[in-house]
Every structure is written in C-alpha cells, then in structure tokens.
Amino acid sequence: MKTMEEVLQDWEAVIGLEVHCELTKLETKMFCGCKLEFGAEPNTHTCPVCLGLPGALPVPNRAAIQSIVLAGLATNCDIEKHTMFYRKGYMYPDMAKNFQTTQGPKAFCMRGHLDLSVDGRGAQERLFWSDLAEGEQSENMTRTADGYVAHVGITRIHMEEDAGKMVHIGGGEGRIAGATHSLVDYNRAGTPLIELVTEPDLRTPEEARLFMQKLRQIFLTLGISDCSMEEGSLRADGNVSLRRRGAKEFGTKTELKNINSFKNLHDGLAYEICRQAEVLEEGGQIYQETRHWDPSKKRTIVMRVKETADDYRMFPDPDLAPYDLTDEFIESVRAKLPELPDERAARYERDFGLTPYDARHLVEHRFTVEFFEAACAAAGDRARELAKPLANLALNDITAYVNAGEGIDFASTPFTPERGVALVSLLAEDAISSKQAKEVFAAVLDEDKDPAAIVEERGMKQVSDTGAIEAVIDEVLAANPDKVEQYKGGKTGLIGFFVGQCMKAMKGQGNPKLINELLASKLNV
C-alpha cells in the first residue's frame, strides 16, 4: 500500500465531519426530567419518556436549546427562528422507543464556518500550498507566513437525543463480534446531543484533526460540555472519498464511525485514503459503507452498508410542536457569549505583542490559557515585557509536564503563576541561563520552593561581571594559542570550544551570552 504522501500526489481527498457533542453541563435530559450523570448505576436514570413507554409525552429542555444557539453563534451560523423535531427510524436495542427524536433539513443553526490555521509539519499534508505567495488564495486555502488558513463551511448544527449504551459480554475488545450476550444501559438515552455537520471542505487528516480540536476549544469555552472523548461526550464520524486531482465530481464516500480521539481521527482517515487509492488503482469499486477504525490493527473494518435517508423514514414528530425562537431569545443567548479562542489569540497579539503562532497555540489548551492569564496579571506593569518568555514557559515546559502525566491539573501543582513570573524574570535579568531555568522549573515542582531560593541554594546565579569574565577568557585564549590561530584562519566553529572552556573554568556560572560577545570581540580583533 502506498503512503498517504504518495497517494495525494495523484488523488485529492474530500473529507467532511459529523461531530457529536453531549451537553453534559446540563442537569437533565433533552425531553424529560431524568438526571444526567456519567458512570451512574445502569438504568437508574430512566422514565417512561426516555424509555418510550406508551402515552409518555416529551417536553423540550429550554437550557439545551440555549446551548445549541450558543454553539451556533460561536461558529458563525445563522440561527433559524422556525424549526421542528422529527422522528428518525432507529431499530436498535439501545433506543427503546425505536426512533430517535432529531431535526430535519432545517436545524436551529445553519450555514456557519470556522477558519483553521495550519502550520508546521501538519501543513505538509496538503500539497502545493507552498507554491502560493503569502496572502494568495486557492480554493478554500489562503497562504500565511508559516502555513495556510483553510476556510471550512458548516452545513448545520442540529439537536437530537443520544442513544443508550450497549455492553457486549464475551467478545473481543468489547465489540459485538463473538460476544455471548449483550446488556443495555438506558441512562444515556435521551441525553441532549448536538451534531455539527461540515461541508466537504477538509482535504487532509491533519485539517480534520485541527477542526475537531478547535471545535472542542470552543465548546469548552462556552461551558456547554466537558468534551471528554474518553467518556464519549465528544466523538466524530469522518466521511472521506477520493477524486483524481483536477476533477470536480466527488467519489463514493465511506464513513468512519464514532472516532473517540484526535489521533484515531487522523490515523483512521489517513489509512482510509490509502486503502481507497489502492482499490481504485487496481480497478476496484468503493462502496458507500460504514467502517470501524481498529487502532490496534491500524486498519478500517466494514461494519455495515450505509443507510440512505429513505431508510430512516423521517417525519415531523406529532408530539412536539414546531419551535419558534424570538429575536429576544436569540439576543439573550448572544449576550452570554464569552471571549472565544480566536478573539483571545488576537488580544494576545495586540496587548502582549505575541506572534500569531504563539498566540494561536497558547489558546489551544485551558491550562496554558489559565496560567498565562494569571501570570500576566501577576506581572503587572511588566506583563508585556515578560509575555514572550511566559508564553514559551507555558507552551514548552508546562505543556511537556502535563502531557507526560496522567490527568494532571497543573493549577494544583507548586508551580504557581507568581513563581512563573519570578522564574522568567531571573532569565530576563541574565541571572540564570535557559538550561538552568529548566532545572529550576523541575526543582520548584519537586521541592515546592520559590525559584530565587532554589537558585541561591544551588549556587546557580550567573556571573555577569564583565571584568571577571574577561579575566577567564584571557586565560583560556592564552592556554590555547593553536586554537586561536585556527579560529583566525577561518575555523569559526571553534567559538563553541572557547565558550565551553570558559564555562568549565567558571563552574557553569558564567553568563554564556556575555561570554560569547566578549570572546567574539577579542578573537575578531
């Protein structure tokens, strides 16, 4: 099988996402008063409505409607004032009433969009972007200084109810294949669920991953869901097809169902792109089907032939009246919009002078945002001066520490924002080197002491006295006349040798920046 890079030379991938998000921050289900609680004893939060018993009548959850309108406003959607709920035929044990209450062609939120900033290695997946000049456009892509921005359309965000949970006993990896029997937990049935459907505007697995990440940032900022992919409150279906480069017609798509991590989304789409190319290049046919991504075997597996809209037998729900949203309701929701990630990144560029790259990546995670905001507040009048090193600290050291642990809440560690300001201040004043700063960072976490105290105890404070450094430099140069001659003869790489000898003589406490400057002035006379 060819690599994805080889495939995309001749083929173009067309990708669309269906992102499902449970509104876990609500107290009750979508159409009844049953409590929402992850991990509760099976079948303890059910009632006649979510079990579909005869005569039970649903009542829409107003807070859920507010949440979906909030999501629509945050993703640049038009809010439809007149909508209705439909019944979607769903014959499976995890939905006891045999239909799902959802929305039809017109949803609460329509015709939105998000812009994705793609840079670094991720940008390399989309071929030919580097052929564009900065600011130049091609299709939905605009070239930037360090990558490109992809404009991704959002078809709709509609409201529906989630199904229950099936537990398969005796099969491999908890799947139905090979199971001896299955259990069903209806606690989740009826949970408010919003589904966002994109236009087929994504062209690489990296763009799909970034879209999912950005949407998660937005939903977390809105406070409508915990967006836990591990617990299933945020998951995605990926639709992908191939067409020859330059072609306009779409190919036949397959759907990867219930992807529950960013990595699985990327890897599953990448495999499916390669698999489809192999089938097509061998003269085979792609079938519209639903497939499962198996991360252990790193391949997709057929689940079922994809249903068509006719199979669902959708019709307006006779138990739910059409829903009419007033201008006052929509504006009351708009007033609740917080500062969104893109707005926050723009503020970091404007107020703190951060680069677009740093600002964009800083807002990707809540812990980096919370630390940076608190540290800048603690820095007071020096906030703009220290913003860049504080951003570096958050993006590099803190992110690496959090990623290395399991579920670490960085806010509960000894490394407070005030200590972060103290550390970068020592670095800015050349009291310690960048290498020593990493040592101090680790020591603060281990010993729960202030950075200045650690520097003092370990004798780490850098010597920046020009006279003392010049004396050491003179000794090193006098001891290595042959190396001095070689340097002056063109071997300028020897500057590293001289710096190393000076640092050794000063037991690692010399200011390397100052040593470099003074050495250069003496050697280049």
pLDDT at 378 over 80: yes
Spell out the residues 6+ positions from residue 116 whose beta carbon is closer than 8 angstroms to its own: 149, 150, 152, 207, 210, 211, 214
- Cβ atoms of 149 and 141 within 8 Å: the answer is yes
For residue 251, the number of C-alpha atoms closer than 13 Å in the C-beta half-sphere is 26
- Whole-model pTM: value is 0.85
pLDDT band at 171 (very low <50, low <70, confident <90, very high): low
Q: How does 180-205 read in b/e, with b if 16+ C-beta sit within 10 Å?
A: eeeebbbbbbbbbbbbbbbbbbbbbb
**Residue percentage of the chain with pLDDT more than 70:** 97
**Residue percentage of the chain with pLDDT more than 90:** 72
> In this structure, how many other beta carbons lie within 10 angstroms of the beta carbon of residue 311?
11
pLDDT band at 82 (very low <50, low <70, confident <90, very high): very high
pLDDT value at position 449? 95
Q: Tell me the backbone φ, ψ of residue 303, rounded to 5 degrees.
A: -100, -50
DSSP state of 432: S
pLDDT at 305 over 80: no
pLDDT at 311 over 80: no
pLDDT band at 308 (very low <50, low <70, confident <90, very high): low
pLDDT at 90 over 60: yes
- Cβ atoms of 32 and 50 within 8 Å: the answer is yes
pLDDT value at position 189? 95
> What is the C-alpha separation between 525 and 517, in angstroms, rounded?
13
pLDDT tens digit sequence for 109-163: 999 999 999 988 899 999 889 899 999 999 999 999 889 999 999 999 999 999 9
- Cβ atoms of 144 and 117 within 8 Å: the answer is yes
Helices (H), 282-433: 327-334, 341-352, 356-362, 366-379, 383-392, 399-404, 417-428
Task: Write the secondary structure of 168-214 as one string of H (helix), E (strand) and C (coil).
Answer: EECCHHHCCCCCCEEEEECCCCCCEEEEEEECCCECCHHHHHHHHHH
Which residue ranges make up each domain of the chain? 4-110+154-332, 341-457, 466-523
2 burial via Cβ count (<10 Å: 0-12, 13-18, 19+): middle
pLDDT value at position 461? 75
* Averaged pLDDT for residues 353-368: 93
* Averaged pLDDT for residues 79-104: 92
Q: Tell me the backbone φ, ψ of residue 274, rounded to 5 degrees.
A: -70, -40
pLDDT tens digit sequence for 8-57: 999 999 999 999 999 999 999 999 999 999 989 999 999 999 999 999 99
pLDDT value at position 519? 86
| CATH 3.20.20.80 is right for the domain spanning 466-523 | no
pLDDT value at position 372? 98
pLDDT value at position 483? 87
Look at strands 109-119 and 78-79 and give their pairing: antiparallel
pLDDT value at position 216? 96
pLDDT band at 472 (very low <50, low <70, confident <90, very high): confident
pLDDT tens digit sequence for 387-428: 999 999 999 999 999 999 877 899 999 999 999 999 999 989
pLDDT at 222 over 70: yes
